[in-house]
Amino acid sequence: MNILDGKKAAAHYKDKIATEVNELHLKGYRKPHLAAILVGNDGASETYVAAKSNACKQIGFESTLIRFDTDVSENELIAEVKRLNSSENIDGILVQLPLPKHINEDKITLEILSEKDVDGFHPESLGRLVLGLPGFIPATPKGIMMLLDFYQIETEGKHAVVIGRSTIVGTPMSLLLSRNSTPGNCTVTLAHSRTPNLSFHTLQADIVVASIGKPLFLKANMVKDGAVVIDVGITRVEDSSNPKGYKICGDVDFEEVAPKCAWITPVPGGVGAMTIAALMQNTLEAYKRRNNIQF
């Protein structure tokens, strides 16, 4: 069993971005600028946003955090997105999800200009992904592909099973793995909560991507020997023995599954770190496009 160390891979990619940003800055270009909107004070969202801000600082990006109380109106939020859209100094915009129930997340996503949609959630971004056109790929699936590439995991001709069909992870992940690219060229099964006899599919898989949002869901009896297992899940589970009162669990029962795997991601320290690295790469791409800098 080998660990797909997301922290190590993310550090590699962030170092490359930092080098490029420094070279551009020395040529007289301003620094890339990422703006994040955070509504309320959800603990997990606070952690994610802080990690993104720290990553910006590490690699030489400018970053701005705009906070709103939980009772912010939908119109106020839209007005702020429009302000960021019109700013010449903002290259990427992200709105930290989830939002309060009185706000329509799809409506907010649609307001973000596609050329600043570094989260890759805008319908235009997803449409470009489906058509194989240049665009912003959602950060988590993009990060997973970067992780597979970093560790040179063989994917061509392999059978991949993706568990979960969200437009943020599962669906784009299935498209990326099936693309005629490296990594890619997998035969992909997209499974979900309505898939009968899920184990029948996962036991045939060379690669399993678990993104169903159920802690410790994937067990050893669902995975074949020598599989590559990617755990996207991250859930806070109550744990009175932990000083924080909770522990972080993935969708994979790591202790059970890991001994059977050729490669597996840990939680934390796996996909989460790569998601942030991919977001930084998307922001750099947005910046270069807006400044007509050749890739």
Whether residue 187 is found in the same domain as residue 266: yes
What pLDDT score does 237 carry? Answer: 83
Q: Say whether pLDDT at 46 is over 90.
A: no
Whether residue 174 is found in the same domain as residue 108: no
- Return mean pLDDT, the chain: 95
In a domain, 196, yes or no: yes
Whether residue 147 is found in the same domain as residue 107: no
Whether residue 83 is found in the same domain as residue 143: no
In a domain, 154, yes or no: yes
Q: Which of 5, 14, 52, 253 is catalytic?
A: 52
What pLDDT score does 295 carry? Answer: 63
Q: Tell me the residue range of the domain where 86 lies.
A: 28-114
Whether residue 151 is found in the same domain as residue 269: yes
In a domain, 178, yes or no: yes
What pLDDT score does 247 carry? Answer: 84
- Calpha distance 223→254 (Å, rounded): 12
In a domain, 37, yes or no: yes
Q: Three-state secondary structure along the chain?
A: CEECCHHHHHHHHHHHHHHHHHHHHHCCCCCCEEEEEEECCCHHHHHHHHHHHHHHHHHCCEEEEEEECCCCCHHHHHHHHHHHHHCCCCCEEEECCCCCCCCCHHHHHHHCCHHHCCCCCCHHHHHHHHHCCCCCCCHHHHHHHHHHHHCCCCCCCCEEEEECCCCCCHHHHHHHHHCCCCCCCCEEEEECCCCCCHHHHHCCCCEEEECCCCCCCECHHHCCCCEEEEECCCEEEECCCCCCCEEEECCECHHHHHHHEEEECCCCCCHHHHHHHHHHHHHHHHHHHHCCCCC
Let me know if 224 is a catalytic residue.
Answer: no
What pLDDT score does 41 carry? Answer: 86
**What does the pLDDT look like over 167-214, one tens digit per residue?**
999 999 999 999 999 999 999 999 998 999 999 999 999 999 999 999
Whether residue 107 is found in the same domain as residue 210: no
What pLDDT score does 175 carry? Answer: 97
**What does the pLDDT look like over 64-123, one tens digit per residue?**
999 999 999 999 999 999 999 999 999 999 999 999 999 999 999 999 999 999 999 999
Whether residue 86 is found in the same domain as residue 201: no
Name 68's bridge partners: 39
Let me know if 294 is a catalytic residue.
Answer: no
Whether residue 80 is found in the same domain as residue 34: yes
Residues 6+ apart with CB under 8 A from 60: 18, 21, 22, 25, 31
What pLDDT score does 47 carry? Answer: 85
Q: Say whether pLDDT at 160 is over 90.
A: yes
- The pTM for the full model equals 0.94
CATH classification at residue 52: 3.40.50.10860
Q: Say whether pLDDT at 258 is over 90.
A: yes
In a domain, 122, yes or no: no
Whether residue 152 is found in the same domain as residue 215: yes
Whether residue 266 is found in the same domain as residue 224: yes
Q: Which of 5, 91, 119, 251 is catalytic?
A: 119
Mean predicted confidence (pLDDT) in 270-275: 96
Among 81, 97, 114, the domain-final residue is: 114
Let me know if 149 is a catalytic residue.
Answer: no
What pLDDT score does 206 carry? Answer: 98
In a domain, 10, yes or no: no
Whether residue 175 is found in the same domain as residue 238: yes
CATH classification at residue 172: 3.40.50.720
In a domain, 75, yes or no: yes
In this prediction, residue 294 has a pLDDT band, given cuts at 50, 70 and 90, of confident
Mean predicted confidence (pLDDT) in 29-47: 91
Whether residue 257 is found in the same domain as residue 145: yes
Total number of domains in the chain: 2
> Tokens at residue 254, please?
């790591």
In a domain, 8, yes or no: no
Q: Which of 5, 14, 96, 253 is catalytic?
A: 96
Among 114, 147, 166, the domain-final residue is: 114
